[in-house]
Amino acid sequence: MDSGQHAEPRKRSIFRSILSLVIMVAFVFGLSWALRTFVFQPYEIPSGSMEATIMTGDMVFSEKVSYYLRDPEPGDIVTFQDPEIPGRVLIKRCIAVGGQTVDLIDGRVVVDGVALNEPYTHGLPSEPLKTALGTEFSYPYTIPAGHLWVMGDNRTNSQDSRYFGAIEENTVTGRGLLIYWPLNNFGLLG
């Protein structure tokens, strides 16, 4: 029997195994890219602006599917492109949408004349902030169409729309869905 006859099938078998491995790795990377691009994105929270809802160092999943079907709504926790630092993503709570009017009265947030019930702030006052230009927004403030007013739950430690103004709705990257790490903070966001 010729040893060359056995070598040829063995070469084909090795080639098929390598090709299968390459295809599987490409599929896994492609699926991972598609999931991160169109379905969800993990983030580590770098600051205390959303405490005690989300703590510094928590790992959060932001899902993207719901905003293919509907627009962000007041109460949603949204991730969005930082209007000041390109490439950085922030997470805050949507307080008002385009056409609504926000006012800050005696430490309370008032939207369209109704004071919000905000148990997630733990009673911290919502006061105006100096903007990046050192001025304050004039309240009441009407949110332009296609924009959102966002604020951190930790109102005394959050640079938010009181600081940088309403954000463009098209900068929203997803809806904060779940704290997945550390396990003692595991849970849905709302």
Which H or E run includes 11?
helix 3-38
Q: Which amino acid is at 59?
A: M
Q: For residue 112, is it left (φ>0), alpha (ψ between -120 and 50) or beta?
A: left
Nearest to 62 by CA among 95, 39, 45, 81: 39
Q: What angle do CA 131, 128, 159 make, to 5 degrees?
A: 55
Task: Out of 11, 32, 47, 49, pick the active-site residue.
Answer: 49
Which of 92, 126, 158, 161 is catalytic? The answer is 92
47 is catalytic: no
66 is catalytic: no
Distance CA 97, CA 113 (A): 14
Give the residue numbers marked as catalytic.
49, 92
